Every structure is written in structure tokens, then in C-alpha cells.
Amino acid sequence: MSVSIPPTHRPWDNFYTLFLMSFAPTIIFDCISLYPRSIVPSALLSVHEWYKVFFNDQLVITQPTWFRAFTLIEGIYEFPLALWGIWALKSQSPEVPARLLIWALVCFSTTFTCLLAIYYDNVMSDSEKWTVIAMYGLYAVIFGIIGLDMYCRIQKILVAATKVVEHDKTR
């Protein structure tokens, strides 16, 4: 039987839940290039066009093949797992550490790759680069924190399980 821990005693889980709740709509925005234009609301298309003009984000503007692949990963893996994570953190699912560790590693890896591409871009001004790097970078930091926390949670579980096994051997 698992012990339920009140939300007030799980501040990191609360932060992750709020982050995932804000990240899910971000993915919908990021994946606009994957949808048929006919189903995208004109207001969302307008915001997307504004983003491209205002930030001059060359990844979004040029859509290199690898970036489109990352966008597809966002849509078919990161989005459903973000939604699952909201539910799983609230319900204290024992699957959270393993699933969110993998999710965070995927998110961090794709975001870090984008950060490098932006840093080495030859079209954007330095000011544009640093603005976009700051936006993407914040996500990378949060993904890194989630990944590190989930790794530590798994380590804690493994250490406890090892102690139980060792205790059983001495009986």
C-alpha cells in the first residue's frame, strides 16, 4: 500500500504540474507547421506569423528537416506525456520517475540541439539570438531540473530496494 503525501508537502511536483500545464499549449503552438492550415484558427496563425517576424527565429522560419522531426517528437511523444504527467503527478503514480526521466531527457536533448543551432545561426542578429536563446534556454533548464530530480528519485528507490534485498538475505 502506498502512502499519499499531501500536495503541500510536494512543492516540486506542484511546480512540475504547473509547468506541464503551461507546456502543453506551447507544444500545440510549436506544432502548427504539422497541421493542415485549414484546421488552424486564423488567430493562432496570426500569432505564429507575429512570432516569426518579431523574433526572427530561423528554426521556425526555415523549418530544417531535423527541426521538423523534433516538432513531430513534440507532437507525438512530448505532448501526450506532458498531459499524462499532469495526471500522474496529481495521483502520485509510481511510474512518474521513470517516465518523466525519459521525457525530460528527450525534451532537454531536442531543446539543447535547438539552442546550439540558434547560437551558430548566421542570419539572426546577436540580440535576436540571445532573446530566443533565453526563451529556449529556460525550457532546457527546467527539463534538466526535472530529469535530475527524477534520476534522484529512481536512485532513492533503488537504494531502498537494495537494503530490503540485503536485509532479506541476512534472515
Mean pLDDT value of segment 139-147: 98
Tally of CB atoms within 10 A around 92: 14
Q: Is residue 56 part of a domain?
A: yes
Asked whether residue 15 carries a pLDDT value surpassing 60, the answer given is yes
Strand, helix or coil for residue 36:
coil
Cα–Cα distance, 110 to 93 (Å, whole number): 26
83, containing H or E segment: helix 79-91
Give, in degrees to the nearest 5, the angle at Cα 73 between 35 and 54.
Answer: 60
What is the number of domains present in the chain?
1
Residue-range definition of the domain harbouring residue 133: 9-169
Expressed in angstroms, the distance from the first to the final Cα of the chain is 23
Q: Is residue 129 part of a domain?
A: yes
Asked whether residue 135 carries a pLDDT value surpassing 80, the answer given is yes
Q: Which of 3-12, 62-71, 99-108, 111-120 is predicted with the least confidence, judged by mean pLDDT?
A: 3-12
